A and B are shown apart, each in its own frame.
Chain A
């Protein structure tokens, strides 16, 4: 049960949404954007957040598209993981999205929500980091488009009042050879010990990780190490792990040392599979 009252708003356009946010903010009503609602409910029930008002983005048309526009795949931020997986415009994204939560939750969790949420796994961002996607962000200044690598650093860095509208991905990435692994503490549902998403482009292997550190990431120095075919794979992996951007996670899913063990195996599997393709 959410133990406080809050106001609910349902804008039908991008412009209405950003103006609403400004106005509510000025009135001291502490607005928050949301789409699926799974995270906002989770945190509000635990009294960890107390928004005075919520702005439901689900009814903004641009936020719900899945379509090819010329050579770009356009996905609205409010598209649910279930709908996205069923449409399957980007197979690696489909597989990664299907690893999150369970079916019932994925019917509500949206692509934007998974990326912008407080829960630090944000697995759906991994294929986008690999595909160098572009993020379409709305704010009071207007709409801007920028490379994911300029705004996603551990999490999506948005200014106050901004929200993610769409994600654009070049057609060229959609059917590259790929691999996805999600290793959990046990069973088929749960947070990751290690999630690895990888693609092969121009004979180079690119990898992105979730569950390994306390944020999802892609690391160019790690990729450099993994692609150095002059040394054996085991050594490449050791080198790559030595270049992790932060210490390995140690949490309820598993210890750092077990994660390291699982990570090594998963990286080896990913590289071996992609080298053959």
Chain B
């Protein structure tokens, strides 16, 4: 556990200023990321922290230093969220404090300050309806999902206190500006299709979602699309990396490009057979057919490998669709101002956690956890929900009990799973997940990346709910009973 890279740490100092009406005007932020002894991905993660430093809010005046620090800790690398769970925890604690200062409901405060079209990101990218999701809509849906207005934030029952904490988050990717992917579609003589692409299946269901995208574009039964479970680096087209919640976006766009290429080839062959122009034709349901006379067409199996006339003459050949896609319009960040366009779009979300705190022992149950995320377009509802709940579980685990403990010689005293705790079956909360769909116009069917996002706001929401329940500012992770006790104890 300690000889391989670990989860990055963060020390943050945040200063926020708002008007008496609650409009945030300025933010001064210092992020010190604990990158460990070697920088590996630490420096890139610190950059990612700078890019999205404010969270999904309209703040016109922003100053941020986000530094990757060398320390004598094990070196860090990418963890799901890429610097965002950490900065979101700090930022959302500050948001709760500020909301309280102006006596506003925590969700109202965030709703009022939500970033949207016409605003600019910390790197001065202009927001429009396509490159950023609809945070106000996420907040509105979250309120319904958790019955925000029906119950008080705080409910006391003897030693037990139930409390709800909320947060908002966003994330864009920080890939190289030339990150991209390719796809190849090979038609088989029976009209089925082999889909070749480089997205790696790690349980997120990406190769299923990509199959669905192709089935949608070709208007064919997804069972007629063959995709391998593994990637063969000799023959599969390149994909930058299966990270950053950008696989479905990059590979999906390449696949659609390849599908369109295949459709052109199918129409070209079919137009000769059907004695019409390619523009007269449409593809779907296993056929290429006349747009105005759908009963006039030809089965794809008859042309997928070229077409043989009755007298034996053959035209065309195997239909092979080729496509590729790279990130568009990304720019590096100006070293002085940080201005630049870091990624294709910002996925936003609103999350909540309900805890039941035992005020005698400082133990607690995580009762409920909810997420509403603008997914652009949900490709596979089951997998989307699984990705979000899996991320939520990881985020709650991280926030409630994960930390390396160092003795005074700098050695880690809990390098094993028997002492580095994980949530077990029976300890998980009831999960609530819902989506908003505001299309990202550059993406296949408008989808947005959602692979990491379930995790991002969980530490913040947990800390906000426990802060309310315990009556002290809980600004340090992990949120163990001892940490809560210590915070209360030390403040007395």
With A251-B413, A252-B405 as known contacts, state yes or no: A187 contacts B482, CB within 8 Å: no
Report A-chain residues with C-beta under 8 Å of the C-beta of B151. Answer: none
With A185-B421, A185-B480 as known contacts, state yes or no: A258 contacts B363, CB within 8 Å: no
Report A-chain residues with C-beta under 8 Å of the C-beta of B405. Answer: 252
Report B-chain residues with C-beta under 8 Å of the C-beta of A102. Answer: 424
Q: Is the CB of B421 within 8 A of A258?
A: no
Cα A254 to Cα B486 with chains together (Å): 11
Which residues, 193 to 244 on A, are CB-close (under 8 Å) to B?
Answer: none
Which residues, 76 to 98 on B, are CB-close (under 8 Å) to A?
Answer: none
Which residues, 235 to 277 on A, are CB-close (under 8 Å) to B?
Answer: 251-255, 258, 261-262, 265
Q: Is the CB of A188 within 8 A of B486?
A: no
Q: Is A68 an interface residue (CB 8 A)?
A: no
Cα A109 to Cα B482 with chains together (Å): 29
Q: Is the CB of B426 within 8 A of A186?
A: no
Q: Is the CB of B419 within 8 A of A253?
A: yes
Number of B residues with CB within 8 Å of any CB on chain A? 20
Q: Is the CB of A186 within 8 A of B361?
A: no
Q: Is the CB of A190 within 8 A of B421?
A: yes
Report A-chain residues with C-beta under 8 Å of the C-beta of B401. Answer: 185-187
Q: Is A189 an interface residue (CB 8 A)?
A: yes
B414 to chain A, nearest CB (A): 4
A255 to chain B, nearest CB (A): 7
Q: Is the CB of B419 within 8 A of A187?
A: no
Q: Is the CB of A258 within 8 A of B486?
A: yes
- Chain A contact residues: helix, strand, loop or mixed: loop
Per-residue contact bits, chain B 388-409, to A (CB 8 Å; 1 contact, 0 not): 0000000000001100010000
Interface extent on A, as a size class?
Answer: 10 to 19
Report B-chain residues with C-beta under 8 Å of the C-beta of A178. Answer: none
Q: Looking at the complex, which one of A188, A190, A191, A254 makes contact with B426 (CB distance below 8 Å)?
A: A188
Q: Is the CB of A186 within 8 A of B413?
A: no
B367 to chain A, nearest CB (A): 15
With A252-B405, A265-B360 as known contacts, state yes or no: A188 contacts B482, CB within 8 Å: no
Cα A253 to Cα B482 with chains together (Å): 10
B396 to chain A, nearest CB (A): 12
Report B-chain residues with C-beta under 8 Å of the C-beta of A190. Answer: 418-419, 421
Q: Is the CB of B418 within 8 A of A187?
A: no
Q: Is B423 an interface residue (CB 8 A)?
A: yes
Cα A190 to Cα B421 with chains together (Å): 8
Cα A253 to Cα B361 with chains together (Å): 15
Cα A253 to Cα B424 with chains together (Å): 17
Report A-chain residues with C-beta under 8 Å of the C-beta of B413. Answer: 251-252
Q: Is B485 an interface residue (CB 8 A)?
A: yes
Report A-chain residues with C-beta under 8 Å of the C-beta of B427. Answer: 187-188
User: Can you list 5 A-B pairs, Cβ within 8 angstroms, ordered by A?
Assistant: A186-B481, A187-B424, A187-B427, A188-B427, A189-B421
* Contact surface of A with B, Cβ cutoff 8 Å: 102, 183, 185-191, 251-255, 258, 261-262, 265
**Contacts beyond the supplied A183-B361, A189-B424: 19 A-B pairs with Cβ under 8 Å:** A102-B424, A185-B421, A185-B480, A185-B481, A186-B400, A186-B480, A186-B481, A187-B424, A187-B427, A188-B424, A188-B427, A190-B418, A190-B421, A191-B419, A252-B413, A258-B481, A258-B486, A261-B485, A265-B360
